[in-house]
Every structure is written in C-alpha cells, then in structure tokens.
C-alpha cells in the first residue's frame, strides 16, 4: 500500500499477509462508517476490491465491514496521522498512519525515524505531487492504457509492478470521475486513492546506501499503524 520501493521483495510481502490484512481491515472499518453496503459506498467498494485482490478471507472482510459500520456493538475510532522526513542518505519520505492510540504511534514512529530524520509538516511535501492514483488491469489484451488515460481524463499512466497492471495518475478532483470512466475503456479498477508522487526521485545512491534506505523503509512499513509509505527513491 503505497510502497513503491518493494518491487524486489514480493516473496517477503507474500509472507506478510497477516500484516497486509490488518492494514486493509483498518481502511475497511474507516470506510464502512459511511455505510456497510459497498454498492452504496464508493470508498468502501474500492477498499473491498483491494482486499479481494489481496485474497483476504471473506469472514475477515465481512467482520471488518460490520465492525466499522457499528453493527457489532463495538466502538471503533481511528485517527489519521501523516509524518514527513528523510531516510538515511536524505531520501524524502511521507508516512501515513491510522491509529487508535495517538501517543503510542507518535512515540514509536519517532523511534523508527532515529536512523533518518523526522521533519515537521511541509518539510518534504513540497517535493511530492498530491495526486489521485488508480490501479487497474485490462479486461482484454486489446485494452490500450494510453487511449484509456486520454478518454477517461487521467493525467498520465505508467506500468505497474504486476503484469498487465497500469497506474493511472489523476488530479485530486478527478479521481472519482476517472475511476468510474476507466471500465468503459477496457480496464477493471482494483484501487483508487489519493497519494504522493515524488517530483525529483533520488537516483544517485550506491548499492550499499540503497540497501540501508530500503531496510529503513521496510522497518517503517512493518509498523502496525502505518498504512502507506511514499518515498522519493528512483530506480
């Protein structure tokens, strides 16, 4: 979820299904506040699609929806927190969290950033574009991502990490409209969210420096309250 440095680590990600399901469950619970029916709740529908793509068990999915919608009698309240700073070797990073205990999260994120540098709000956001990000796959081999991007109103597109997957970039205000339009042009939308895209990705790291940066990012992403990590790291 929002961690583009992890292309090399698919096997490790496959072994972390529980953590992935935990992150998705939080998003589902937050989205379900707007209603438990995905057909009537666009935000919930998109997160449910992500959960299905990640092979989340149906009972886990349904339990998260009911809990978030208040159908189980439990009170669920998560706060969104955003951190900005630098990894080792001055690579800018934005970290988004969902937490039910702000004091715990603040303390633990500060510890994780000791190997980098935790900044104040706005310290690195200027070096990212805040955009809509839509992950979609073609319904058939004939689907043309360039044509779909133009016709649906996306700013641009780029190949994703998985075969056939395409990342469509939109203006923030156009995210919902483009998500609804893409199926008309041969693409099935798997996720649609707002995120951060680096303007000037760092590409000058040595192999050893890159390994150090990736280890830092893996530690951040492994925290239970972290939902998305956006990093200005180029290929």
**What are the pLDDT digits (tens) for 17-64?**
788 899 999 999 999 999 999 989 988 988 898 898 888 999 999 999
| Strands of the sheet with 79-86, listed across from one edge | 117-118, 79-86, 92-99, 226-231
Taking residue 115's Cβ as centre, other Cβ atoms within 10 Å add up to 14
Euclidean distance between CA atoms 124 and 35, whole angstroms: 35
Q: For the chain, list the domains and their CATH numbers.
A: 4-68 (1.10.10.200), 79-126+200-231 (3.30.70.980), 128-198 (3.30.70.980)
Euclidean distance between CA atoms 191 and 43, whole angstroms: 10
Q: How far is CA 99 from the centre of its chain?
A: 16
Question: What pLDDT score does 54 carry?
Answer: 85
Residue 145 has phi, psi (to 5 degrees) of -65, -35
pLDDT in tens, 79-90: 999 999 999 999
Return the beta strands (E) in 128-234 as ranges. Answer: 128-138, 156-159, 166-170, 187-198, 226-231
> Does the pLDDT at position 102 exceed 90?
yes
């Amino acid at each position: 979820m929002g961690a583009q440095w992890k292309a090399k680590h698919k096997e490790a990600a496959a072994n972390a299904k529980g953590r992935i399901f935990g992150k998705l469950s939080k998003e589902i619970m937050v989205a379900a506040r707007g209603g438990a029916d995905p057909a009537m709740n666009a935000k919930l529908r998109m997160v449910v699609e992500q959960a299905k793509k990640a092979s989340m068990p149906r009972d886990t999915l349904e339990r998260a929806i009911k809990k978030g919608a208040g159908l189980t009698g439990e009170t669920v309240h998560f706060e969104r927190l955003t951190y900005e700073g630098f990894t080792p070797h001055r690579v800018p990073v934005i970290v988004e969290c969902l937490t039910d205990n702000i004091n715990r999260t603040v303390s633990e994120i500060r510890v994780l950033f000791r190997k980098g540098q935790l900044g104040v709000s706005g310290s690195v956001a200027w070096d990212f574009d805040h955009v809509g990000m839509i992950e979609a796959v073609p319904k058939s081999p004939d689907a043309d991502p360039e044509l779909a991007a133009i016709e649906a109103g996306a700013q641009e597109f780029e190949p994703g990490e998985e075969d056939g997957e395409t990342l469509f970039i939109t203006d923030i205000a156009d995210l919902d409209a483009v998500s609804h339009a893409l199926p008309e042009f041969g693409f099935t939308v798997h996720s649609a969210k707002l995120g951060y895209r680096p303007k000037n990705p760092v590409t000058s790291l040595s192999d050893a420096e890159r390994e150090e940066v990736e280890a830092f990012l893996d530690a951040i992403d492994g925290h239970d309250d972290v939902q998305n990590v956006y990093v200005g790291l180029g290929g």
